[in-house]
Structure 1
Amino acid sequence: MKKYMHSNDRLDEVTVSTEPIYEGKIISLQVDTVRLPDGSTAKREIIKHPGAVAVLAVHDSKMIMVDQFRQAMGRCELEIPAGKLEKGEDPLEAAKRELQEETGYVCDNIKLLHSFYTSPGFADEIIHLYIAEELRKGEAAPDDDEFLELYELTLAEAEEAVALGKISDAKTMLAVYAWKLKQATGVFGL
């Protein structure tokens, strides 16, 4: 077995051409023709996304979550506050904005926990996950097309919601397990 290297140019694919397919409000779709390591070519369908932020917000030993209908899933999903980045927006400022807009909470103690790609096989979406503590209640201001209900869950309640499938969103599951790790070790980390 070879030692793992983060970059492996022997596996690189080189983009030969890009064909735009769809340009939407949030995402775009393109089909890339790539040259493979053996010299042959292949097609790659790629979803382009501006990136997003998500906030693991903890208040009085409870995780702040929102419940909202998700059309792609055809049902409501319990999630941590999150939203897409606006063009040129700093992720930290976006995290503060989303937290306040969706929950009404504001926070000075907020820091990056981790950044991760949601589905790198076909999308370039990256989510910056923040941890927010020492929250102060403010006034929520959701987007006009955003209808949310606010919940506060203990760690045990959040784990039960994952086990029951009430939380099946990857960013929220990751946040629950990061919070569990913090409870066990006293340190946030992934």
Structure 2
Amino acid sequence: MRAVLETPWFSVEALPSRDDDEPYYVLSSPDGVVVLPITEDGRYLLIRQYRAARGRLSLEAPAGQIDAGETPEQAARRELLEETGCTASDMIALGAGGLALNRERSKVHLFLALGVRPEPGARPETGIALEPVDADELRDKVLSGECEHIAALGLITLAAWRGHSLPGLTPGDFRDVR
């Protein structure tokens, strides 16, 4: 294995191929977190920010990398504060997995943040707009493709399947979506 590109956020490594002489390229980066914040009044707190890879604004859940020495929960709390200016009374770990198993080594830890409220004196990072939505708006944004953050979509489903009460959503919402 050899690094062919290194940045402060990720590296690209060349692995020997099993099938031919061409290398297989893998993206390596620190593990990350994605947080589904639910405010004290039962709204889902999404963020809208510019994504250069997409060339447009994206509607998503707060997320980011786990810094050296941090636990996944510490990173989830930090990302929530940095990206929304809010804190949570409860941070529930739902599980972890990969996003692009064919190319990425990193794991993403999923969290449900309950009792989310503004932290006095804190503000969202520059370039991030908060978008609190109720369950109907969330469903509409997901089904229309406006919210395409796949980790956030998986987080919503995983939270429901693990038996967590999601404001305005019922188990039936996850059976027959057309």
- Scaled by the length of structure 1, the TM-score of the pair is 0.78
Q: Does 1:184 align with 2:170?
A: yes
Which whole-Å CA distance do the structure 2 matches of 1:180 and 1:115 have between them? 15
Alignment of 1:142-161 (within 5 A): 142-143=124-125, 146-161=126-141
Match of 1:119 among 80, 100, 105: 100
Instruction: Give the letter aligned to residue 122 of structure 2.
Output: A
Tell me: CA distance 1:104–1:142, structure 2 relative to 1, closer, same or farther (3 Å).
closer
Which digits, 9 at most, give the CA deviation of each residue in 1:58-107, with x for residues without a partner?
11111111100000001101111111111232110010111111111112
Consecutive unaligned residues of structure 2, counting only runs of 5 or more, are 172-178
Percent identical among aligned pairs is 25
- State the superposition RMSD in angstroms: 2.0
Contact 1:155 1:176 in 2 (8 A): no
The equivalent residue for 1:31 is 14
Contact 1:112 1:128 in 2 (8 A): yes
Contact 1:27 1:48 in 2 (8 A): yes
Instruction: Give the letter aligned to residue 90 of structure 2.
Output: N
User: Of the two structures, which has the highest relative contact order with CA contacts closer than 8 Å and spacing of 6 or more?
Assistant: 2
Instruction: Give the letter aligned to residue 131 of structure 1.
Output: L
What SS does structure 2 have at the residue aligned with 1:30?
strand
Contact 1:34 1:42 in 2 (8 A): yes
What SS does structure 1 have at the residue aligned with 2:54?
coil
Consecutive unaligned residues of structure 1, counting only runs of 5 or more, are 1-17, 186-190
Which whole-Å CA distance do the structure 1 matches of 2:155 and 2:132 have between them? 14
Give the deviation of 1:55 after TM superposition: 0.7
What SS does structure 2 have at the residue aligned with 1:118?
coil
Contact 1:91 1:128 in 2 (8 A): yes
Instruction: Give the letter aligned to residue 162 of structure 1.
Output: V
Contact 1:35 1:42 in 2 (8 A): no
What SS does structure 2 have at the residue aligned with 1:125?
coil
Which whole-Å CA distance do the structure 2 matches of 1:117 and 1:173 have between them? 14
Give the deviation of 1:179 after TM superposition: 5.4
Which whole-Å CA distance do the structure 2 matches of 1:88 and 1:177 have between them? 30
Q: Does 1:106 align with 2:87?
A: yes
What SS does structure 2 have at the residue aligned with 1:102?
helix
User: Across the two proteins, how many residue pairs are aligned to each other?
Assistant: 163
Contact 1:155 1:179 in 2 (8 A): no
Match of 2:48 among 67, 78, 81: 67
Instruction: Give the letter aligned to residue 27 of structure 2.
Output: I
Contact 1:54 1:129 in 2 (8 A): yes
Contact 1:158 1:176 in 2 (8 A): no
Structure of greater Rg: 1
Q: Does 1:140 align with 2:122?
A: yes
Instruction: Give the letter aligned to residue 87 of structure 1.
Output: A
Match of 1:51 among 31, 48, 61: 31
Instruction: Give the letter aligned to residue 65 of structure 2.
Output: K
